[in-house]
Homo-oligomer: A and B are copies of this chain.
Amino acid sequence: MRIGFIGLGIMGSRMAANLIKAGHELVVYNRTPNKAEPLVALGAQLAGSPEEVGQACRLLFTMLATPEAVEEIANGPQGFLKALPGNSLWVDCSTVNPSFTLKMAKLAQKIGHRFIDAPVAGSLVPAEKGELLFLVGGDVTDVSEVQELFDIMGRATVHVGPVGQGTSMKMVNNTLLAQAMVAFAEALRLGTSLGISEEMLCQTLLNGPTAAPFLKLKEAKLLHKDFSPEFPLEWMHKDLHLAGVTAYEQAVALPSLHTTKEIYAQAKQSGLGEADFSAVYQLFSTNKTV
């Protein structure tokens, strides 16, 4: 069975490569086609448009950066949706907002297709090693149809619930990442203002019960002020923006999340948008950068 794969960025390229290495035949597309070359070298077929991908398969993965990109690729003038054969299965791994996921699912279902939202937790290295965590929303039968493929790309799958809940869980998870990072940045700032070294603070706190485990992976960045991006700050800001919009849509008040969002907005405004999101610490760490 041929599999379509659209979106060959940092994450998508590695996920697609793992599918090929496992023996699957892929038809791929990326807006900037040169990013597809390594995959073509591995044996993937390069399509000239999303529409061509749609014509060539009944199962299609997308891994794109924004809701706008997903909508264009799926439903734009050269979108794949209209080209897919009846009853195809679209698996969207993009990190988007729940109401957008539901809109895409409806678009697909209205013309006879099936839809799964399957965003992933994990970044470059887990993507490369096939160790992602899939957070999945969709029908049980649809999910079991692609479970084998999730198992190739990931170490585990959480089938959260019906369509939309994979996206929802991913959003919730990223709010925890964002908030823990800011809380730790403020904790470092408070501690250093009282004369404790960053090293002592990291050593004491990052091995204890009060800091989220992922923060340990940011220790070197914080200590050496090397904020080369693993997850760019401006993406985190975007995720918080979408969480804020979702909170409005669902009529829930989330004061801490919004304060955190504006702290990332300040960091972005001060020029840290393309740095790793842990660079939010720079906003606090010296008088100069605030």
Question: Is A109 located at the chain interface by the 8 A CB criterion?
Answer: no
A255 contacts B253, C-beta separation under 8 Å:
no
A190 contacts B262, C-beta separation under 8 Å:
no
Segment from A9-17, A25-33, A62-70, A265-273 that makes contact with B: A265-273
Question: What are the residues of chain B within 8 A of A245 when measuring CB–CB?
Answer: 241, 245
CA distance A13 to B138 in the complex (A): 47
Interface of A: prevailing SS: helix
Given contacts A212-B212, A213-B213, contact A190 B266 (CB under 8 A): no
Please, how many residues of chain A have a CB less than 8 angstroms from a CB on the other chain?
A: 75
A269 contacts B253, C-beta separation under 8 Å:
yes
In the complex, residue of chain B having the shortest beta-carbon distance to the beta carbon of A189: B252
A253 contacts B265, C-beta separation under 8 Å:
yes
Question: Is A77 located at the chain interface by the 8 A CB criterion?
Answer: no
Q: A118 to nearest B CB, angstroms?
A: 14
CA distance A259 to B259 in the complex (A): 7
Segment from A46-54, A88-96, A178-186 that makes contact with B: A178-186
CA distance A200 to B165 in the complex (A): 11
Given contacts A179-B179, A195-B168, A209-B212, contact A270 B287 (CB under 8 A): yes
A266 contacts B253, C-beta separation under 8 Å:
yes
Question: Is A251 located at the chain interface by the 8 A CB criterion?
Answer: yes
**Which residues of chain A in 159-183 are interfacial with respect to chain B, using CB atoms and an 8 Å cutoff?**
160-162, 164-165, 168-169, 171-173, 175-177, 179-180, 182-183
Question: What are the residues of chain B within 8 A of A287 when measuring CB–CB?
Answer: 269-271
CA distance A208 to B177 in the complex (A): 11
A246 contacts B190, C-beta separation under 8 Å:
yes
B211 contacts A161, C-beta separation under 8 Å:
no
A168 contacts B196, C-beta separation under 8 Å:
yes
Contact of A262 among B176, B189, B194, B258 (CB under 8 A): B258
A135 contacts B204, C-beta separation under 8 Å:
yes
Contact of A290 among B169, B172, B187, B270 (CB under 8 A): B270
A255 contacts B266, C-beta separation under 8 Å:
yes
CA distance A135 to B200 in the complex (A): 11
Contact of A179 among B177, B183, B284 (CB under 8 A): B183
User: Can you list 15 contacts pairing A with B, beta carbon distance less than 8 Å?
Assistant: A160-B204, A161-B196, A162-B195, A164-B195, A165-B194, A173-B204, A173-B210, A179-B186, A183-B256, A193-B252, A209-B217, A213-B213, A245-B245, A248-B265, A253-B262
The 7 A-B pairs with the shortest beta carbon distances in the complex, nearest first, are: A253-B265, A179-B183, A193-B250, A176-B210, A168-B194, A209-B214, A255-B262
